[in-house]
Amino acid sequence: MFPDIDSCRAAARWTQQHAAELSVTIVRSGATAWRWRMEAAGGAVVAVASRDYQRRIQAAQAAAVVLGLLAGAELGEMPVRVRV
């Protein structure tokens, strides 16, 4: 969670600028479910999968796609959501 939209945008830009330096870790999220997470140097998690995958290979493939597209992605307008 971010305190405001500007800090969220700054984090997204940082992640894009450092995409080549990020590492991907595949983690078990349930008995038969997998997720990916991207980490910066030092282990700080900067992105996570928004869904579970039934197979480890599916999570790895999805992470590879995200990582490959990350640097060139265009940041659009971000809607503000308030959680209660």
Q: Which pLDDT belongs to residue 74?
A: 86
Mean pLDDT on 26-41: 95
Q: Which pLDDT belongs to residue 78?
A: 65
Q: What is the pTM of this model?
A: 0.79
| Alpha carbon distance 47, 23 (integer Å) | 10
Per-residue confidence band for 39, with pLDDT thresholds at 50, 70 and 90 = very high
pLDDT at 80 over 70: no
Per-residue DSSP letter, 20: G
Over residues 53-62, the pLDDT tens digits come to 999 999 999 9
Q: Show Cβ contacts of residue 80 under 8 Å, excluding neighbours closer than 6 positions.
A: 5
| Alpha carbon distance 53, 33 (integer Å) | 5
